[in-house]
């Protein structure tokens, strides 16, 4: 199971057209991500990270190329089946959380379970289990507006885990958090990969946490260059303090 490829992308291209302007954002993306891997996606602003993440999560279709997730050819699915695939296999964590402020933490998680057709009597227990998994069992009844930023991010993560998705995609999940809280959020994502065998892809600019990645994919000029963690570590060591996977233990 450990060597199972969860994402296989070949020659993914995406062009946006706005009036007479055409941007060839993705110009042939080839990548593979294995089960249990925690991979970071980095690159300059506007390089197409969110676009690529959206394609990996079946929110957006590429213009051409092949994308297999969990052995399903998702580029061949119609919109309805893509939506179903997304609900069953993909969990998203957004930078701004997208929680319902008026709902309690467990209710925010339950919303995702409702969409998956979870029976109401099981949904409450499952919401609490997921919040416990992300270390938030003492805040289940708090409304979002009563939670700290880091706690809200954890609720968003618990919600992303609803339905036990194979793939977790996170777009700059630490951007609204202070350094320590952001680091803790990333540790949790890394641990989900390592302990539950989730496949985690994170877009981030935060060089202090590069050591928590198994691999770092660099998106430049519409293509991916892979840098080893060691190379990145050296680069970010020059920039300041870094954290490595060894610090998790
Ligand atoms: N719906 C759209 N229509 C037209 N152009 C778009 C659209 N979405 C994104 N773009 C353009 O595609 C390019 C890549 O955008 P994207 O959001 O993927 O970049 P990013 O790497 O995530 O940037 P950032 O680090 O700033 O979040 C940008 O130049 C953007 O202006
Ligand atoms: Mg982006």
Q: What is the pLDDT along the chain (249 residues), one digit of tens a residue?
A: 446 999 999 999 999 999 999 999 999 999 999 999 999 999 999 999 999 999 999 999 999 999 999 989 998 889 999 999 998 999 999 878 889 999 999 999 999 999 999 999 899 999 999 999 888 999 999 999 999 998 999 999 999 999 999 999 999 988 888 888 888 888 989 999 999 999 999 999 888 888 899 999 999 999 998 765 555 555 555 545 555 555 544
Ligand 1 centroid – CA 16 distance (Å): 9
pLDDT number for residue 242:
55
What is the pLDDT, as a whole number, of residue 176? Answer: 81
The residue whose CA has the least distance to atom 7 of ligand 1 is 16
- Ligand 1: centre distance to CA 17 (Å): 11
d(CA 13, CA 28): 5
Q: Of 74, 60, 249, which is closest to residue 166 (Cα–Cα)?
A: 74
SS3 content of the chain, % helix, strand, coil (to 5): 40, 25, 30
Pocket of ligand 1 (CB under 6 A): 16, 18, 23, 25, 43, 45-51
Taking the C-alpha atoms of residue 30 and residue 63, their distance in angstroms, rounded to an integer, is: 14
Mutation to probe ligand 1, out of 18, 21, 22, 23 (largest number of atoms < 8 A from CB):
23
CA–centroid distance, 219 to ligand 1, in Å, is 13
Q: What is the spatial distance between Cα 127 and Cα 55, in angstroms, rounded to a whole number?
A: 28
Q: What is the pLDDT of residue 221?
A: 93
Q: Which residues make beta-bridge pairs with 14?
A: 26
Q: How many residues in total does the chain contain? A: 249
Provide the pLDDT for residue 237: 54
Within 8 A by CB and 6+ apart from 52, the residues are: 12, 14, 26, 29, 41, 219
- Would you state the pLDDT for residue 179? 85
For residue 158, which of 122, 189, 131, 197 has the smallest C-alpha distance? Answer: 131
pTM of the model: 0.88
Nearest CA to ligand 1 atom 6: 16
Q: How far is the CA of 113 from the centre of ligand 2 (A)?
A: 27
Helices then strands, counting H and E runs in the chain, come out as 7, 10
Looking from the CA of residue 52, the nearest atom of ligand 1 is: 18
- Domain boundaries 36-58+79-248, corresponding CATH code: 3.40.50.300
Query: In the chain, what are the domain boundaries?
Result: 36-58+79-248
């Amino acid at each position: 199971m450990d060597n199972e490829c969860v994402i296989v992308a070949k020659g993914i291209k995406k062009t946006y057209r706005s009036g007479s302007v055409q941007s060839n954002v993705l110009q042939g993306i080839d990548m593979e991500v294995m089960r249990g891997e925690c991979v970071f996606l980095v690159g300059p602003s506007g390089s197409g990270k969110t676009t690529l993440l959206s394609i990996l999560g079946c929110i957006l279709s590429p213009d051409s190329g092949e994308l297999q997730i969990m052995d399903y050819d998702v580029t061949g699915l119609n919109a309805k089946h893509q939506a179903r695939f997304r609900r069953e296999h993909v969990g998203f964590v957004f930078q701004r959380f997208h929680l319902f402020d008026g709902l309690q933490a467990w209710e925010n998680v339950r919303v995702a379970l409702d969409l998956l057709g979870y029976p109401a009597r099981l949904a409450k227990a499952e919401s609490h289990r997921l919040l416990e998994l992300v270390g938030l069992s003492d805040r289940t009844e708090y409304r979002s507006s009563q939670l700290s930023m880091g706690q809200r991010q954890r609720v968003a993560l618990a919600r992303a885990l609803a339905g036990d998705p194979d793939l977790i995609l996170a777009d700059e999940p630490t951007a609204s958090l202070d350094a320590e809280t952001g680091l803790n959020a990333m540790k949790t994502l890394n641990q989900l990969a390592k302990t539950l065998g989730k496949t985690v892809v994170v877009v981030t600019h935060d060089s202090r946490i590069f050591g928590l990645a198994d691999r770092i994919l660099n998106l430049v000029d519409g293509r991916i260059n892979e840098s080893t963690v060691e190379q990145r570590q050296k680069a970010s060591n020059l920039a300041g303090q870094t954290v490595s996977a060894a610090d998790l233990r």
